[in-house]
Amino acid sequence: MVDSDSRSNRHSGEEPSVLLDANLWRGLAESQTIEGFCRHWLRLQCGMLEGVYSGMVVQGPPDQGPFTAAAYWPDQLKEPGNLSKIAEDALKERRGVVLAGAAEVAAANSAPYHIAYPIRIDGKLYGAAALEIAPRPPDQLQVLMRQLQWGIGWLEKKYLQKKIEKNAVILERTSSALDVAAASLQEPHFQQAAMLFATEMAARLGCDRVSVGFLHRRQIKIAALSHSAQFGQKMNLLRCISAAMEESIDQGKTLVYPDPSERSGVILREHEQLARQFDSAAICTIPFLDRSGSGYGAATLERSAAPLFDDSTVLFCETAARLAAPALEEKRKNDRSIFSKIKDACVVQLEKMFGAGHLVRKLAAIFLFALIVFFTFAQGDYRVTADAVIEGLIQRSITAPYNGYIDEANARAGDVVQQDQVLCTLDERDMRLEYLRSISQKEQYLRQYREAMAVGKSAQGKVIQEQINQADAQIELLEKQMARARILAPFDGIVVNGDLSQSLGAPIERGQVLFEMAPLNAYRVILKVDERDIRQIEEGQSGMLVLAAMTKQTWPIVVNHITPVTRVEEGRTFFRVEAGLEKNTEALRPGMEGVSKVLIGRRKLIWIWTHDLIDWVRIWIWTWRP
């Protein structure tokens, strides 16, 4: 540290000279670096403020650090002492801080103060300025802190200016790269787009040759050369450029020859050979990398004379490549033939299947392969599925015995009836009147017969006798018809069809079907077999039936008869197949529907599940065959 006499001597008379030093103000205005600006600013700031012994400015990456000293005042200051501590406190607290002198020095009333204020822009911390000052009252100390805060604005302005300049450079570079990418991507086809990209890059960067290549069958194939539509005769040149591109892709980084930074671990053998054989003074190769870091192409830029490729030019090339390369690769893939696309897709899938990683895909493939093998060789019971309906084995129709009218209806469809139970009654009043008339007529004929026989008229008696016989026949007919007015059940069973309860008094005609009945202990199952499966059905095959009304119980059936007649229902063609139930129960009723499965035999599981599709494909192919 500098003693108090030297401090006072250094500060006295310096402020006017500092403020009037034109070179110092010129240096502040013309400083190109942050360090130079901080040095001039600190000298001016310490000269403008009263009682400043020394000062320091620290700066570093925003909000990251480390923060190191950028300038000292005076220049010969070698031990910053408490300046570093007060600057560190200001960085931590992100506000202005004051540090008093040591206690033993303060007792002598000559302890210096230390003040510091951070440099903040947009909430980010760029550094801090720290000063060692003479002791003073609190109000003067507050004024000095305010003056330092105002002076910090010069540094903040410089940082903002540098940030704007940097952003302007980035914006200009990005805009130029976008122009190059947009110009090349306007072409619909890959070859023209790659050629335009190479030509634009050569024109903007003053390159003698720009080459664009993409990976094809594990080797780089040159797709375009700037200002050259035909390059088939330049085989040696293309091989050297391809080798340089592969060298860049293998290392996964941009390669510049000659390397101005002389980076260690960078191999430039192929670039050196390209430069030596074709007189290239400067070469830059930018690899095209995907998200995983794998290379799929590259661009090589060559200059036959100075200048070399500097950092800004390399950044521009990398930006343009990142923008244009993915679109060029997409155009290249789209311009391939359909067979190449299928082949590449298969190769990609095989690489995922047999290459590293993709464990879930591999396990799924193994599981699928095991399933295919199992179902190819495994066998199971093949059954033909068909809709089924139960019908009575015997179904009797009960018709009207004569023309008449319905008097009573005692049964209807669904009723279980016993043999000789009255199903309905016909109105017999007209027949009874006719019956009484016939009896009266017969009595009249008998009286006439006796009178004729009494007077010896035998011929007339014979005629009357025939009339009596005719009256007896009529009476007998009426008696039988009146007896048949009560419709009786012919056997124990269930009424399948017929409901006359809503037709009382309605006329009926002789032979009209009034009821249909079926027995309760004899049923048959009608299977609706699809025409595609009928060839599998044979008489004597067994199966199982599940009814919609009783899904928990199965019923064994046997195929009895195949009707060679088809029916069309709901757009599909069915054959009517009759099957018998091996056991009956009172729970069954005619008209119940369900699903049946007829056992055909043992088949391979893969055939069981795919034969319908195979048959459909065969028919479709046959339909379109010439």
Domain definitions of the chain by residue range? 4-166, 186-335, 396-515, 522-624
Cα 386 to Cα 575: distance, rounded to the nearest angstrom: 10
Say yes or no: do domains 186-335 and 396-515 share a fold: no
Helix H or strand E segment including 53: strand 52-59
The answer for residues whose C-beta is within 8 angstroms of residue 439's C-beta and 6 or more apart is: 475
Q: How confident is the model at residue 213 (pLDDT cuts 50, 70, 90)?
A: very high
Confidence of residue 331 (pLDDT cuts 50, 70, 90): confident
Mean per-residue pLDDT for 205-213? 89
| Averaged pLDDT of the chain | 82
What percent of the chain stands above pLDDT 70?
Answer: 92
Is the pLDDT confidence value at 319 over 80? yes
| Per-residue confidence (pLDDT) for residue 162, from 0 to 100 | 77
Asked if 392 and 523 count as a contact pair (C-beta separation under 8 A), the reply is: yes
Tokens of 607: 């055939």
Mean per-residue pLDDT, 138-158: 83
pLDDT at 287: 93
Fold classification of 4-166 is Beta-Lactamase (3.30.450)
Q: Which CATH class is domain 522-624?
A: mainly beta
pLDDT score recorded for residue 443: 85
User: What's the pLDDT band for 558 if we cut at 50, 70, 90?
Assistant: very high
Instruction: Give the sheet arrangement for strand 493-497, strand by strand.
Output: 396-399, 513-518, 493-497, 416-417
The percent of residues above 90 in pLDDT, for the chain, comes to 9
Closest CA to 298 of 263, 328, 272: 328
Range among 15-24, 147-156, 241-250, 411-420 with highest mean pLDDT value: 241-250
Most confident of 362-376, 421-435, 488-502: 362-376
396-515 — its CATH code? 2.40.50.100
Query: According to CATH, what is the number of the domain 186-335?
Result: 3.30.450.40
pLDDT score of 567 = 86
Is residue 563 over pLDDT 90? no
CA-nearest of 585, 575, 492 to 545 is 585
